[in-house]
Amino acid sequence: MPELLDEPPALPALQRARGMVAVRVGPAGPHGATRIRRLHQAGSLKLRFPRARGVRAETVLVNTAGGLAGGDRLAQRFEIEPGGNLAVTTQAAERVYRSHDGAEARVETRIEVADGACASFLPQETILFDGGRLHRRLEVDCTASSRLLLCESVVLGRSESGERVRAGRLRDSWRVRCAGRLVFAEELDLGGDWDAVGRAPMLGGARALATLLSRGEDIDPARLRDLVGPDGGVSLVDGSLIVRLLAADGYALRRRLVPLVAALSPDGVPGLWSL
C-alpha cells in the first residue's frame, strides 16, 4: 500500500485589524464654536482635528492599517450635543482588499445628533478591489430640529490602473431614526461573480455609486436634478432628501459629488475633499 502523506502544516492565523473611535462634541466659548468634550480611540483607527473654520468642527478618520481586509473590524461613534456642528471625513479613499478566506471586513458607525445640532458624515470614496468583501452598518439617531448630511460612495476598482472587479461583495445597511421613529431604512447587497470585464450588470455598466441623505435643510429636489444628471435620481422620503448617483469611474463620481455636497451643506465641502 502507498504510504499516507503527512497532513500539511496548518496555516498561521491571518492578522486582523481592530479599531475604535468615540467622540463627543459640543459648542463652547462666546462664539459657539464646536469643541471636543470626550475622545476615545483604540487600535488602528484614529481621529484628527484640523483647525476649525467658523463654528463647525471637522474630524478626519485615519485607518493606520492602510486599508481593510477580510475579518477586519472598525467601530466609530459620534455624539453631537445641542447646538454642536461636526463634519466627519476620511484622510483618503478607503481600500478594501481581496478576502483570502471569504470573511467580510466590517465597519459600524453610530451617530447621535441632539436638538439644534448638525452632523455631516462625508467619508471619501471606498475602493473595492477584486475579491474584496465589505459589510458596513450606519445608524443615526436625530431629533426634529437637528440637521443631517450623510454620504457613502463606492468605486469598483481603479479604472485608470486597469483594475477589474470580477468577484466580491458589498453590503450597506442604513437606519435613520428621528425622535425614536424609524424614518429611513435601506439594505444594499451587491455580490457574487461579476462579469468578466469587471462591471456589475446590476449597475448598468457603472463602476461607481453613491447615496446621499439630507434632513433639516429646506432644499427643493428639482434644484438638484441638473447636478445629479441622467445617471441618478432625487426623491423625498418621510422628510429625508435622498440622492442616488451612478458613474463610469471614481473621478466622474467625484465631479458630481463635490457640487452636490456643496449644495446640500451650508458649511461647504470638507477641506480634504478635492478633484
Give the per-residue SS3 of 72-91.
CEEEEEEEECCCCEEEEEEC
- Res 3: pLDDT: 47
* 115 domain residue, yes or no: yes
Query: Is 146 a domain residue?
Result: yes
- Looking at residue 15, its pLDDT comes to 72
Q: Would you state the pLDDT for residue 231? A: 86
Q: Which amino acid is at 158?
A: R
Residue 122 lies inside a defined structural domain of this protein: yes
In a domain, 250, yes or no: no
Residue 187 falls inside a structural domain: yes
Residue 3 placed within a domain: no
Q: Is residue 143 part of a domain?
A: yes
Confidence (pTM): 0.89
Give burial (CB, 10 Å; 0-12/13-18/19+) of 263.
middle
- Residues of 29-60 as b/e, b for ≥16 C-beta within 10 angstroms? eeeebbeeeeeebebbbebeeeeeeebbbbbb
User: Is 264 within the bounds of a domain?
Assistant: no
Strand blocks (E) in the chain: 18-28, 33-43, 45-48, 57-63, 73-80, 85-90, 94-96, 105-113, 118-121, 126-128, 133-142, 147-156, 167-178, 181-193, 208-215, 232-237, 240-247
Place of cell 448598468: 204
Question: Can you give the residue range of the structural domain that contains 204?
Answer: 18-208
| Residue carrying the nine cell digits 475579518 | 71
Task: Say how many domains are in the chain.
Answer: 1
Q: How many Å apart are CA 88 and CA 75, to the nearest integer?
A: 14
Per-residue pLDDT at 11: 47
Q: Which residues have a Cβ under 8 Å from the Cβ of 7 and sit 6 or more positions away?
A: none
Give the Cα separation of 95 and 97 in Å (integer). Answer: 6
Give pLDDT tens digits along the chain (275 positions): 444 445 555 545 567 889 999 999 999 877 789 999 999 999 999 999 998 777 899 999 999 998 999 999 999 999 999 999 999 999 999 999 998 888 999 999 999 999 999 999 999 999 999 889 999 999 999 999 999 999 999 998 776 666 777 788 999 999 999 999 999 999 999 876 555 444 445 567 778 999 999 999 888 787 888 889 888 999 988 899 999 999 988 899 999 999 999 999 988 898 888 75
